[in-house]
Structure 1
Amino acid sequence: MTTKFHVCNCNRSMPLNAVSGQRIGEALGCAPLPVSSQLCGRDAGAYLESIKGVDDVVVACTQESALFRELADEGGSVAPLRFVNIRETGGWSTQSYAALPKMAALLADAARPMQQALPTVSYASQGRVLIIGRADTALGWAEQLQETLDVTVLITGTGAGAQAALPTERSYTVFSGSGVEVQGWLGAFQVTWRQSNPIDLDLCVRCNECVAACPEGAIDLLYQIDEDKCRRHGDCVQACGAVEAISFARRDESRNGDFDLIFDLSDTPLLAMHQPPHGYLAPGPDLRAQMAAAGRLAQMTGEFEKPKYFQYRERLCAHGRNKITGCNACIDICSAEAIGADGDRIRVEPHLCAGCGACTTVCPSGALAYANADVPYNGKRLKTLLDTYARAGGERPCLLFHGQEHGGALIAQLGRLAKAGKSVRGLPARVLPFELHHVASAGIDLWLAAICYGATQVVLLATGREAPEYVAALRLQIGIAQAILSGLGYAGTHMTLIEAATPQELDASLQDIGAFSTTSVPAQAAGFHLFAEKRNSLDFIFDHLYNHAPAAAASGAEEIALPAGAPFGTLSINKQACTLCMACTGTCPSSALLTTADRPQLRFIEKNCVQCGLCAKSCPEQAIELVPRLVPPAAAKATVVLNEAEPFHCIRCSKPIGTLKAIENLLGRLAGHAAFEGNLDRIKMCGDCRVVDMMTSRKPDAIVDLARPR
């Protein structure tokens, strides 16, 4: 099956012509590409003809993608359609004259087969919405939404004198309370609160008898008692009578309810996480934001699906062992609070997961992997992009990793402003945008692989919409990657994080990157592919980087010091304190620490170590310290002895039972203990010999003949 390409110079606003089409075709390994001027208009016939078959069709236009899809639907086409932006990313730039290699690379990337569909997570909503907030705001929105949704209102922070009143017609349920807590997700929210006011609005029939009976005027038409005015004489209770909606004995009574949607109108959202659950909207006090949120709520009835963004390999997880916690990286960084401890492992709630992928970036072992465009798939994209760019004559490629939504929009704005001559230059010709679902979903394995595949620089774009912990994590990971490259003698700055909220800021930052583009990289591009397991990919990456490191630096790269928190390194053992109890080997999740059956010896394979710290936390003598570093692959794969000792043998059968040092320490501690007085030699025996010694040393008159009748 072939791919049919459509390239348009958008009414000649880009420097593309027949010669350009020929050069792009050569880079793509296909026939020269015809270049249209108005593919969405007078030249649409070529597009309509191409979609009659079943071959993939790639259209180099994203602005009119809706039109092209509509034309395909009207014609009953089954041809797979893909769209790629070469206009704002290349053709609309002050360097558009040199952007042809980038355009060819972006077309090749778009032509790659799509990743297989992921498992999905399902939601079901019947439109049961809980509106939380002050009475004046919450009741107003309840009146607006009750025609389309099943509305319940929870009034918070109100009392007498509020400029609101309950509706005379009970068309929806109203509660009041404080201490509101929300858990769950779209279609499955659980809300708890405290019924603190003496009047229960769910029981109140709004007869106004209590209002008339209250001598202090402490009750208004919200039917809530202002307890600053109330003297608790009980006239309202008597007036309420058999309805029993008023009780001064009811204080902080717990209430709860299940809802599909939450419309939180509190000034400060009840859920503070950066990425709240689907179905929870907290627009704050701004009326326009409230209107937009209300519109979204009205569309959240029915059944919905989203991808299950992650894969969890429990056997690789370094979270904990034997109730000792080691690695909390994924839990600490999750902005949706979707990850929590589950004994010695972690648990990810797929309904809360927002798909950012930051957990997979910081996971040292690869136990969590990003499934929505996984590393093997993105690795092949990188190779295709960079190989095509090189074939088309491109030089010094710089990859710009960006998020699909906010990063893509910012790049598009930059291109439009550059075309309009608004004092910006647009994306430089050598900067290749690499779109991700979220910028935090790619980590050190993908970045370093890009360098191995031929990129001279990797730039990450943060737009200010990302969670602060994501940006901090990306900085740390960039520091680790750059330390490795610099330690191997590759000159220059290869890894950069750009923080830009406006096109102007992005433009200035990209020009600064260009000024420091003289980086050294491996002379030969790598041919390997990336693996689903992070550590396997990194093995190939480090092999390539070491093998092609500058000759002068190769000999000095025997040990590269890395920043704290790096997932590579060794252990420093205090041999004076270590008793070789081997508690560390029992907690090591990655088989980096090993023991032997024939002698007390602690062995270590550095390649396997993820620096989780479980060994250090489990050591009773506190004799282990983490040392983040990187050593050559051969050294990292070797088994080394960190500590060993003279074995101690049972004094009766000569079987090894521990180390001489451990036995001596134990004897020293127990020598003055009354329970062991006269029996210290048993400490020097194995378990079997100890039992024999206990039985044979008993006095004869203490031995009972069990066979003698009594």
Structure 2
Amino acid sequence: MPLEPKTLGTALAETLPLHSALCRREAASFQRAIQSGDEVVVACTQEKRLFGELAEQTPAATSPIHFVNIRETGGWSRDARSAMPKIAALLAAARLPEPDPVATVSYASQGRLLIIGALDEAERAAALVGDSLEVAILSQGPGALGGAQERRWPVLAGRLESLAGWLGAFELRWTRDNPIDLDLCTRCNACVAACPEQAIGLDYQIDLGKCSGHRDCERACSVAGAIRFDRTPERLEGAFDLVLDLGAAPAIDWHAPPQGYFHVPGGLAHASGLQTLLRLRDMVGEFEKPKFFDYKQKLCAHSRNEVVGCNACIEVCSAHAVSSDKERQRIVVNPNLCVGCGACTTVCPTGALGYTYPRAPHQGLKLRTLLSTYAAAGGRDAALLLHSQEGGQALVEQLGRQAQLGRAHGVPAHVIPVGLFHAASTGIDLWLSAVAFGASQVLVLATGEEAPGYRAALATQMEIAQALLRGLGYAGTHFRLIEASSPAALDAALAGLRETRQQVPGQPARFAVGAEKRSTLELALDHLMDEAPALRAPAGEPLAIPLPTGAPFGAIAVNKDSCTLCLACVSACPAGALQDNANAPQLRFIEKNCVQCGLCETTCPENAISLVPRLLAAPERKQPVVLNEAKPWACIRCSKPFGTQKAIEAMLGKLAGHAMFQGEALERLKMCSDCRVIDLYSASNEMKITPL
């Protein structure tokens, strides 16, 4: 790689000696460095294992060691000589503190394996893992060869009703409705030979569509008594720790199936078949994974007063981990099913769901460090390429190798790869913050491993973010979803980025990304508005930027002719955007707080409210405004104001014809609550009781 130590050292404010064979003949330099006690960054991930072994063999090695890949990400590229600012940025980010530890989710597996599939293939798989796992087979037909003569494992048969759960906690429900009881069957084949319709296969179950009722099989099985046509169907349940599904159609048809469930439709002949069996053998014991999310119910816009508003997280989750709890007016995330994609946190408008692996403050610090170091080293037009640490990372590395061989251009000098646990785990709060920090573009790489719904959600969020910047006057395309499943496709997509220039803030922001999504969005928007080209003109009407439907910013429109100021919308609003006035009948609104969840629109009994997705780029968006007000109604007895004149008149009009509200009862509706009680008490005392 054509490295320039002087340029890198200037950007990082230190002297950097260049080692060309640090893992071989210059290993002593590495050993001296890790004895200093200072943090050490090794810009080589290929020999990470070797450096780890050297560290173990080095006396008094106390330095924390960080690894970073600068080779495939920029050093192996036709732009390599121009990539020093990017390499300096990657080195600087590698020195950041490790993310805060997160809570964990525990699993316990005793090795109870359920194999679903044709009996012959299932028994072959069982033979390969049966010495380390407790196997049971749910037979789905005999297959080409049928079951072996020797019955080595329990075989269940019947109609699969449901399969649910996760590693260590799968629950199977099936209905046993065949005349042959496999627990009693000895596989003597007498029934197979006796059946004139050949309705019995070598899975030892009767195809009732072929059977015409000769009952020869039942007579042939009189000794074992395994066949009875008058047997009542039984609903059965079983518990398992692991599931190997060899069926053509998966029993759990999710894009992100539960951990512990493996679907191999081609059986052992499939390329992943034997690899899956090896994984299963190791899945006995206790396991942990990160708890990828935090949930704050007080911020959640899912439901209020039994009315559902925002369903974004439930609709986007491909792991079926998010569900609605209508009784407690909240969503519930099952941590055992959650796979850590973070898509729910990306589409959440309020930040009620927050991503923790790592948390937003760490991600924000990393982005700001990358961009500020890149700029300090003389870099221009930085583009961040956000990719997953599995498929995305592999694709970037493959592209680097192709570039080193002269078969591709490689990652351009201005494109900085940023690894994430999952490509869908960041959203507009971090994207807009990145632009505020100086990024000209934010690119998200989709490799095909993502659920289709994730790509659609990312595209929608990018449309919203781009509309914001476009409305503020920033020219260009700042957000792109790059879909590539091969190095050639990725190379072509990245090569096209050189053709456009994006307008960015004149001064990069320095704010710290916070834990609250809305707070971070406000910081980013404030900076982008301060630097916005569209707001540099002489002051006039406040700039209102229209946004796509579903945007987490906006106003509401109130039909004053229909609104009765019942204030049901105020109690429904989860964000404090709608407020009343304790001193006057008023409906007030703070636009900054509105998340456009729609609960107010759905709750309003008069259908007087509609959503207006937009961004008001003016100080007024943070100030309360009066959307509607009315003249108060005065109590006809004490003249104290209560309610509104419009609401009371509407109530009187609706109840005037009701039998329960005639005469004095109707007049009491015109009184305040205190006077109604007094009037009722006075009326009862004035009643004359005539003795019999």
Q: Please give the range of the TM-score, normalised by the shorter of the 2 chains.
A: over 0.9
Is the 8 Å Cα contact of residues 301 and 350 (structure 2) preserved in structure 1?
yes
1:539 maps onto 2:522 in alignment = yes
Are residue 119 (structure 1) and residue 98 (structure 2) matched? no
Structure 1 stretch 345-354 or stretch 165-174: which is displaced more? 165-174
Q: Is 2:174 the partner of 1:193? A: yes
Asked if residue 355 in structure 1 is aligned to residue 340 in structure 2, the reply is yes
Give the match for residue 2 of structure 2.
Answer: 15
Flag the 1:74–1:420 CA change in 2: closer, same or farther, 3 A.
same
User: Aligned residue for 2:675?
Assistant: 689
Residue 245 of structure 1 corresponds to 226
For 1:476, the equivalent position in structure 2 comes to 460
Give 3-state SS (helix, strand or coil) of 2:340's partner: coil
Please list the CA deviations of residues 577-623 of structure 1 after superposition, one character each: whole Å capped at 9, or x if unmatched. 11111111111111111112222111111111111111111111111
SS at match of 1:497: strand
Output the amino acid matched with 2:284. Answer: T
Deviates more, 1:262-271 or 1:647-656: 647-656
- Cα 1:703–1:292 change in 2 (3 A) is farther
Alpha-carbon offset, residue 243 of structure 1: 5.3
Deviations 1:513-555 (A, max 9, x none): 2211x22111111111010001111111111111111266555
Q: Out of 645, 670, 673, which is 1:660 matched to?
A: 645
- Whole-Å separation in 1 of the counterparts to 2:128 and 2:79: 52
For 1:674 and 1:352, the matched residues in 2 are separated by: 56
List per-residue Cα deviations over 1:92-136 (Å, max 9, x = no partner): 111111011111110001111101211111111121110001223
Whether 1:515 and 2:499 are equivalent positions in the alignment is yes
TM-fit CA distance, 1:688: 2.8
Task: Flag the 1:261–1:620 CA change in 2: closer, same or farther, 3 A.
Answer: same
Alignment of 1:479-558 (within 5 A): 479-516=463-500, 518-550=501-533, 555=539, 558=543
**What are the within-5 Å matches in structure 2 for residues 324-473 of structure 1?**
324-343=307-326, 344-422=329-407, 424-473=408-457
SS in 2 for 1:341: strand
Shift of 1:704: 8.6
Shift of 1:220: 4.0
Q: Is the 8 A contact 2:472 2:534 kept in 1?
A: no
- Give 1:694-709 correspondences, 5 Å limit: 694-698=680-684, 702-703=688-689
1:314 aligns with 2:297: yes
Unmatched runs of 5 consecutive residues or more in structure 2: none
In structure 2, which of residues 220, 235, 251 is the aligned counterpart of residue 270 of structure 1?
Answer: 251
1:287 aligns with 2:274: no
TM-score (norm 1): 0.93
2:22 maps to a residue whose letter is: L
Q: Displacement, 1:38?
A: 1.8
SS across alignment from 2:612: strand
TM-score (norm 2): 0.95
Structure 1 residue 232: Cα displacement: 3.1
- Counterpart residue number, 2:70: 86
Partner SS for 1:684:
coil
Select which of 90, 93, 112 maps to 1:106.
90
Deviations 1:187-234 (A, max 9, x none): 111111221322121343334454455454433442211223323354
Q: 2:575 aligns with which of 574, 590, 596?
A: 590
Query: In the aligned structure 1, how far is the partner of 2:246 from the partner of 2:336?
Result: 23
Listed one character per residue, the Cα deviations across residues 469-526 of structure 1 (whole Å, up to 9, x for unaligned) are 111111111111111111111111111111111111111111212211x221111111
Provide the rounded CA distance (Å) in 2 between the counterparts of 1:43 and 1:557: 63
1:305 and 1:58 mapped to 2: Cα distance? Answer: 29
Distance in 1, Cα, partners of 2:625 & 2:17: 62
User: Retained in 2: the 8 A contact 1:543–1:633?
Assistant: no
1:52 aligns with 2:39: no
What letter is aligned with 1:540?
Answer: L
Instruction: State the distance in 2 between where 1:701 and 1:27 align.
Output: 94
CA–CA distance in structure 2, aligned partners of residues 357 and 500 of structure 1: 21
* Bigger shift: residues 555-564 or 541-550: 555-564
3-state SS of paired residue (1:576): coil
* Aligned positions of 1:90-169 closer than 5 A: 90-156=74-140, 158=141, 162-169=143-150
Question: Given the alignment, which residue of 516, 540, 556 partners 1:571?
Answer: 556
**Alpha carbons 2:472, 2:535 under 8 Å: kept:** no
How big is the shift at 1:49? 2.4
Please report the RMSD computed on the Cα atoms of aligned residues, expressed in angstroms: 2.0
8 A contact 1:27–1:391 mirrored in 2: yes
- AA of the residue aligned to 1:149: L
1:64 aligns with 47
Q: 1:375–1:531: 8 Å Cα contact kept in structure 2? A: yes
CA offset at residue 447 of structure 1?
A: 0.7
The more displaced of 681-690 and 326-335 is 681-690
Return the offset for 1:251: 5.5
What residue identity is the alignment partner of 1:494? H
The aligned amino acid for 1:133 is G
Per-residue CA distance 1:46-86 (angstroms, 9 max, x = gap): 11222234332211111111221222234464532221111
* Helix, strand or coil at the partner of 1:82: strand
Indicate which of 163, 170, 191 corresponds to 1:182: 163
Partner amino acid, structure 2, of 1:487: G
Q: Which residue of 2 aligns with 1:304?
A: 287
Structure 1 unaligned spans of 5+: 1-13
Tell me the distance in 2 between the aligned counterparts of 1:704 and 1:538: 75
Is the contact made by 1:600 and 1:646 (CA closer than 8 Å) also made in structure 2?
Answer: yes
Whether the 8 Å CA contact 1:464–1:501 is kept in 2: the answer is yes
Shift of 1:460: 1.2
Is 1:561 aligned to residue 546 of structure 2? yes
Q: Compute the displacement of 1:700 (Å).
A: 5.2
Cα displacement (A) at 1:698:
4.9
Paired residue type of 1:195: R
* Identity level (%): 53
Structure 1's 703 and 22: CA in aligned 2 closer, same or farther, altered over 3 A?
farther
Please state whether the residue corresponding to 1:35 is helix, strand or coil: coil
Q: Paired residue for 1:11? A: none
Partners of 2:550 and 2:25 lie apart in 1 by: 58
Change in 2 beyond 3 A, CA 1:701/1:387: closer
Give the deviation of 1:463 after TM superposition: 1.0
Contact 1:488 1:557 in 2 (8 A): no
The aligned amino acid for 1:637 is: K
1:110 counterpart letter in structure 2? A
Q: Find the aligned partners of 2:433 and 2:487 in 1 and give their Cα distance.
A: 28
Letter in 2 for 1:264: D
Q: Secondary structure at the match of 2:557?
A: strand
Q: Distance in 1 between matches of 2:687 and 2:89?
A: 95
Helix, strand or coil for the counterpart of 1:572?
A: strand
CA distance in 1, matches of 2:182, 2:688: 80
